[in-house]
Amino acid sequence: MIPSLPFGRTQHLSTRVIFGGYALAFCDQAAADRALDLLFEHGINHIDTAANYGDSELRIGAWMKRYRERFFLATKTQERTYAAARDQIRRSLERLQTDHLDLIQLHYLVDEGEWQMAMGAGGALEAAIEAREAGLVRFIGVTGHDLAVVERHTQSLARFDFDSILLPYNYLLMQNAEYAAGFEALTALCAERNVAVQTIKSIARGLWQHGAPRHASVWYEPLSQQAHIDLAVHWVLSRPNIFLNTVGDLNLLPKVLDAAARFSTAPSDAQMQRLMEEAGITPMFS
């Protein structure tokens, strides 16, 4: 069984592995229901999706009719204005077949211009706060990719007291001295404020090579061998007090959950260096 951890200040004990809803973006309901069985098998009790993840909200909505109380339910809006975000939050509630969200997140908020719009007067943050005050959402978070995300999340936390953040975290990325320093400072701030930290791209191998056959549904190339996934997942889980969001691919989901269920000790630096070489892991962000 995968252990649980308080999800920041929310008082919810979330499994340290959170189901990444992008895996359901392009599948039918039968495939989604098989994934649900797998989540039950591993005791996963936290789902993270987004309004722009294809049909993911619709697939999860079919689960919520019966199992809403079993999951901490999070989605995201990538709209930047108040009106568009307000409408999208309500559409997400309809698609997810629920009367409330546990967490709404401002999605991929890294670009400076978009940040100013979303966080300013008439921005998406106002819609999220309004939804919280109306009881439609309980908590508010912010997510992002790219190397600039640590600086932008720090800026976001200075502007508003978010309940959670989400950002990339893996062994190779933390060999980037600037990113690592920013990550450490940011997570220290989150610990001080009791802000939940979610991490993505745990099993990233690199960008797809031009013309290479694609064996997964995500925009980057993920690791695929179980032994490699084990090391990558165990390395992330060896850092206390953070969460690992699963890869957005149904075929790789069982491997990630299996790796997480078997986690006991942190891989050594020597093991991780061998993984970098054997798997040919390369940077995703520049």
pLDDT in tens, 104-114: 999 999 999 99
pLDDT given for residue 5 in this prediction: 97
**Positive or negative: CA dihedral 8, 13, 15, 16:** positive
Cα–Cα distance, 236 to 187 (Å, whole number): 14
Distance between CA 95 and CA 102 in Å, rounded? 15
- Amino acid 214: pLDDT: 83
* pLDDT at position 198: 98
Q: What are phi and psi of 124, to 5 degrees?
A: -60, -30
Check residue 217 and give its pLDDT. Answer: 86
pLDDT for the residue 64:
97
| Number of neighbouring beta carbons within 10 Å of residue 212 | 9
pLDDT at 185: 98
Average pLDDT of each block of 10 consecutive residues along the chain (286 residues)?
95 98 97 98 98 98 97 98 98 98 98 98 98 98 97 98 98 98 98 98 93 84 97 98 97 98 97 97 91
- Give the pLDDT confidence score for residue 127 in this predicted structure: 98
pTM of the model: 0.97
205-250: per-residue pLDDT in tens? 999 988 778 888 898 899 999 999 999 999 999 999 999 999 999 9
The domain covering 4-279 belongs, at the CATH homologous superfamily level, to NADP-dependent oxidoreductase domain (3.20.20.100)
The whole-number pLDDT of residue 212 equals 76
Q: What is the pLDDT of residue 170?
A: 98
